[in-house]
């Protein structure tokens, strides 16, 4: 079976909404219900510089919720405080991974409190930079009703550590032949070319996009663990090779 999902990251009060509206209009045209990574208390300076403050931010989030978009808790403040790469070794920066359990609990508690105050009900957790650890999951279990993690490197949804995981493997659309694939976009930095490619892809494949309710979750097996480790170390090796090549290119000829 082949099925696609799509996730948009970094919804916050200072978004350039024109960049987001092009995605929303496209999804609504084809009845696609994306996962939206909502930041409850943004402190990321890069995101704060994207646009003017939107006093109707939470009204927008509620409108998306009313359209049956999947609302995800995108951390608490999206502010990176260390260089821990967490369970998935995806990035060398984190709001959560490596942070003491009590601090993580406080972040999740505050995030959950904000969502409740705004009458928004996230069903998915989305860690900023894909970096989190077992303590993050413990905090989620204590302070939220969230049972789904939007992350992972496998090719199909699975169950691990008491959560349902929906893997997020691709940053742009790519034609596949089987399995479940999540495309992960950042509207603030998405180029016109990349968006046009998404639009063409959805026009041709919109019937293959599903909602979370359509997914089946399998147990996490030893084979899954081996494959996931392979994916992690393959990416780490590629990143190391790219950095080494960039370093070599900076060395003057003859040295």
Tell me the per-residue pLDDT of 232-247, one tens digit each, with 9 for 90 and over: 888 777 767 776 676 6
The range of the structural domain enclosing residue 72 comes to 2-218
Q: Is the dihedral of CA 64, 214, 167, 202 positive or negative?
A: negative
Residue 46 has pLDDT above 90, yes or no: yes
If asked whether residues 91 and 149 sit together in one domain, one would say yes
If asked whether residues 124 and 236 sit together in one domain, one would say no
Q: What angle do CA 181, 125, 108 make, to 5 degrees?
A: 165
32, 206 Cβ separation under 8 angstroms: yes
If asked whether residues 234 and 147 sit together in one domain, one would say no
Q: What pLDDT score was predicted for residue 239?
A: 67
Question: Which residues 6+ apart lie within 8 Å of 157 measured at CB?
Answer: 164, 165, 166, 167, 180, 215, 216, 217, 218
If asked whether residues 99 and 225 sit together in one domain, one would say no
- Domain containing 210 — which CATH number? 3.20.20.370
Residue 117 has pLDDT above 90, yes or no: yes
If asked whether residues 82 and 108 sit together in one domain, one would say yes
139, 105 Cβ separation under 8 angstroms: yes
Q: Write out the DSSP string of 119-167.
A: T----EE--GGG---HHHHHHHHHH----EE---SSSS-EEETTEEE--
Q: What pLDDT score was predicted for residue 237?
A: 78
Mean pLDDT of the residues in the chain: 93
The rounded distance, in Å, linking the Cα atoms of 106 and 84 is: 19
If asked whether residues 135 and 251 sit together in one domain, one would say no
pLDDT band (50, 70, 90) for residue 90: confident
Strands, E assignment, the chain: 2-11, 35-38, 70-73, 124-125, 148-149, 158-160, 163-165, 179-185, 218-219
Radius of gyration of the chain from its Cα atoms, rounded to whole angstroms: 19
If asked whether residues 68 and 96 sit together in one domain, one would say yes
Q: When comparing pLDDT for 127 and 229, which is higher?
A: 127
Residue 105 has pLDDT above 80, yes or no: yes
58, 42 Cβ separation under 8 angstroms: no
If asked whether residues 154 and 254 sit together in one domain, one would say no
If asked whether residues 155 and 239 sit together in one domain, one would say no
Q: What is the domain count for the chain? A: 2
If asked whether residues 149 and 246 sit together in one domain, one would say no
The rounded distance, in Å, linking the Cα atoms of 60 and 63 is: 5
If asked whether residues 139 and 232 sit together in one domain, one would say no
Number of residues assigned to the chain: 255
If asked whether residues 172 and 232 sit together in one domain, one would say no
Arithmetic mean of pLDDT, 144-154: 96
Q: What angle do CA 214, 220, 223 make, to 5 degrees?
A: 120
pTM of this prediction? 0.91
Task: Report the DSSP beta bridge partners of residue 218.
Answer: 158
pLDDT band (50, 70, 90) for residue 61: very high
């Amino acid at each position: 079976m082949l099925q696609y999902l799509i996730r948009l990251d970094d919804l916050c009060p200072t978004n350039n909404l024109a960049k987001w509206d092009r995605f929303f209009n496209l999804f609504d045209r084809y009845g696609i219900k994306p996962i939206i990574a909502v930041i409850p208390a943004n402190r990321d300076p890069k995101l704060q510089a994207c646009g003017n403050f939107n006093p109707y931010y939470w009204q927008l989030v509620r409108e998306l919720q009313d359209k049956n978009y999947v609302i995800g808790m995108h951390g608490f403040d999206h502010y990176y405080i260390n260089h821990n790469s967490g369970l998935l070794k995806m990035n060398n920066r984190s709001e959560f991974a490596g942070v003491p359990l009590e601090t993580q609990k406080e972040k999740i508690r505050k995030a959950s409190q904000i969502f409740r105050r705004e009458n928004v009900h996230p069903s998915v957790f989305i860690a900023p930079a894909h970096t989190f650890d077992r303590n993050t999951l413990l905090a989620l279990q204590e302070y939220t009703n969230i049972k789904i993690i939007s992350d992972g490197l496998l090719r199909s949804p699975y169950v691990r550590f008491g959560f349902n995981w929906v893997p997020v493997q691709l940053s742009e659309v790519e034609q596949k032949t089987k399995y479940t694939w999540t495309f992960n976009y950042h509207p603030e930095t998405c180029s016109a070319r990349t968006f046009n490619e998404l639009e063409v892809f959805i026009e041709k494949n919109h019937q293959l996009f599903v909602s979370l309710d359509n997914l089946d979750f399998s147990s996490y097996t030893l084979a899954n663990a081996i494959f996931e480790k392979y994916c992690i170390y393959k990416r780490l090796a590629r990143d190391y090779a790219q950095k080494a090549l960039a370093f070599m290119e900076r060395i003057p000829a003859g040295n």
